[in-house]
Amino acid sequence: MLTIYGVYRSRASRNYWMARELDIPFTSVPVIQARRLADPLSPDAALNTKSPAFLAINPMGLIPSIEDDGLILHESLAMNLYLARKHGGPLSAQTIEEEGLITCWTMWAATEVEPHAVKIVLAYDHGIENTAEGKTIIAQSSAALEKAFAVLEAQLSQFGYVAADRFTVADLNLAEVFRYAMTQAALFDKAPRVKAWLALCQSRPAFKAMMDARLSEPA
């Protein structure tokens, strides 16, 4: 049985989406971010990233993590690659070449896109998007993302998807990273294939089910 540690309002959303795509049973253990609590080490505090019980799972104190038949893994994008490889099906690589592309694009998203995109979503999460500081962060991050959007726009001209002629774990992983930049309409307007691809990914029933669960959680 797969166990996913982390709330839906975190990078664990990627793993909850993946589990639903694969239609595999899983147990959700809601672990919230310690920063959301006044005293995360209080005896009556909700299970959080500083709780000893969670640190026994992930000593880094970061969500998400998964446990699958005794195997504990961290890093949300890598966890999805593992689940795709284990369970197979159309989301997984069918050839060694597809596996290379899936891994390449996932790493690209983690290193070239997410560091900038996450600054945008955090500016909104922290309510500073309309302050001078927030506007500067968003503008600089958006500018840094223009090249990445152009690169993905060109890649999508080949298949319409990222790594194959169908939706794969690479599309899921990248869609969750690019979702962080959705407030910046200008980026997507300049990359119409990226805009259409993200809408297609987010039209999938498994994504909608994940988002319903995410929106039902306290902000």
* Contact of 128 with 134, CB cutoff 8 Å: yes
Sheet strand arrangement including 2-5: 26-29, 2-5, 65-68, 71-74
**Average pLDDT along the chain:** 97
Angle at 89 between CA 27 and CA 76, to 5 degrees: 45
Contacts of 17 (CB under 8 A, 6+ apart): 172, 176, 206, 207, 210
Tokens of 168: 């794969």
Looking at residue 217, what is its pLDDT? 93
Per-residue pLDDT tens over the stretch 74-126: 999 999 999 999 999 999 999 999 999 999 999 999 999 999 999 999 999 99
Distance CA 2, CA 71 (A): 10
Tokens of 213: 């669960």
Whole-Å CA distances, 206 to 39, 55, 135:
35, 30, 33
Looking at residue 140, what is its pLDDT? 98
* Contact of 24 with 50, CB cutoff 8 Å: no
Q: What percent of the chain has pLDDT over 70?
A: 100
Distance CA 53, CA 50 (A): 8
Run of H or E including 176: helix 169-178
Compute φ and ψ for 9, nearest 5 degrees.
-85, 60
* Contact of 5 with 64, CB cutoff 8 Å: yes
The domains located in the chain, with CATH, are 2-88 (3.40.30.10), 96-207 (1.20.1050.10)
Cross-strand partners of 65:
5, 74
**0.85 exceeded by the pTM?**
yes
Per-residue pLDDT tens over the stretch 27-60: 999 999 999 999 999 999 999 999 999 999 999 9
* Contact of 170 with 102, CB cutoff 8 Å: yes
Distance CA 117, CA 170 (A): 17
Compute φ and ψ for 3, nearest 5 degrees.
-120, 130
Mean pLDDT of 193-208: 98
Closest listed residue to residue 88, CA positions, set 76, 98, 77: 98
Per-residue pLDDT tens over the stretch 139-188: 999 999 999 999 999 999 999 999 999 999 999 999 999 999 999 999 99
DSSP state, residue 67 = E
Looking at residue 172, what is its pLDDT? 98
Q: In angstroms, how far is CA 108 from the centroid of its own chain?
A: 13
- The confidence band for 219, taking pLDDT boundaries of 50, 70 and 90, is confident
Looking at residue 131, what is its pLDDT? 96
Looking at residue 48, what is its pLDDT? 97
